[in-house]
Chain A
Amino acid sequence: KNEVEQSPQNLTAQEGEFITINCSYSVGISALHWLQQHPGGGIVSLFMLSSGKKKHGRLIATINIQEKHSSLHITASHPRDSAVYICAAWYNNNDMRFGAGTRLTVKP
């Protein structure tokens, strides 16, 4: 069964803190996406990865294929990072499943 589990559901941090959001999935994915959805509703793709690690600015995404787990890290968090972060697994059977999202609030 193609499942995606995300944690935590909600996360509140102080500006400057290091943040980690976790995503677990079932066996058989070809790619994993990290998405960001701002309060206005727009969705932006942050990363797409199938192995290893990717970095963009203060954002880092990692994936461990053996453990079927991916993490999104935000270094030196800022209030403008406040958003809902969603992981999405693209399965080999052409199925795409989404996590429920992590609502991040970064306080100044």
Chain B
Amino acid sequence: DAGVIQSPRHEVTEMGQEVTLRCKPISGHDYLFWYRQTMMRGLELLIYFNNNVPIDDSGMPEDRFSAKMPNASFSTLKIQPSEPRDSAVYFCASSLLGSPLHFGNGTRLTVT
């Protein structure tokens, strides 16, 4: 299995632009998580899905952030408009119920 695949690996954009991060979970996994990691705040859970349905998005920082999972093999995290404080590494992870998390390699986002 290829593991959790995230794209792009790096994204540099200007303030105000829309950013879309993508994630392909491991086939068969029914949970998908989006996390953000910064030096100041460490790792934070943004949102997670179960069977493609968003279960808890209380970690999403504000309305500029949105996430979708149109099918079991694809999810997106969108920031519109982006701001410099959104600069971070964004991780996607997937799992089966009661099983360990499998992380993607992350997307390093820089907003200038």
Of all A-B residue pairs in the complex, the 3 with the closest CB atoms, nearest first, are A45-B100, A98-B43, A43-B103
- Since A41-B106, A47-B100 are in contact, a sample of 6 more A-B pairs with Cβ atoms closer than 8 Å, ordered by chain A residue number, is A31-B98, A33-B100, A33-B101, A35-B101, A45-B100, A86-B43
Chain A residues contacting B44 (CB-CB under 8 Å) are 98
In the complex, how many residues of chain A place their beta carbon closer than 8 angstroms to a beta carbon of chain B?
20
CA gap between A42 and B103 in the complex, in Å:
8
CA gap between A76 and B69 in the complex, in Å:
43
Given contacts A33-B100, A88-B43, A98-B42, contact A41 B105 (CB under 8 A): yes
| A42 close to B106 (CB less than 8 A) | yes
| A95 close to B89 (CB less than 8 A) | no
A-B contact count (CB 8 A): 46
Secondary structure call for the B interface: strand
Given contacts A48-B100, A98-B42, contact A41 B89 (CB under 8 A): yes
Q: Mark B80-112, 1 if CB is under 8 A from A, else 0.
A: 000000000101010000111111011010000
The reply on B53 being an interface residue by CB < 8 A is no
Range, interface on chain B:
20 to 34
The reply on A29 being an interface residue by CB < 8 A is no
The reply on B12 being an interface residue by CB < 8 A is no
Q: Mark A60-90, 1 if CB is under 8 A from B, else 0.
A: 0000000000000000000000000010100
* Chain B, 22-70, CB within 8 A of any chain A CB: 33, 42-45, 48, 55-56, 58
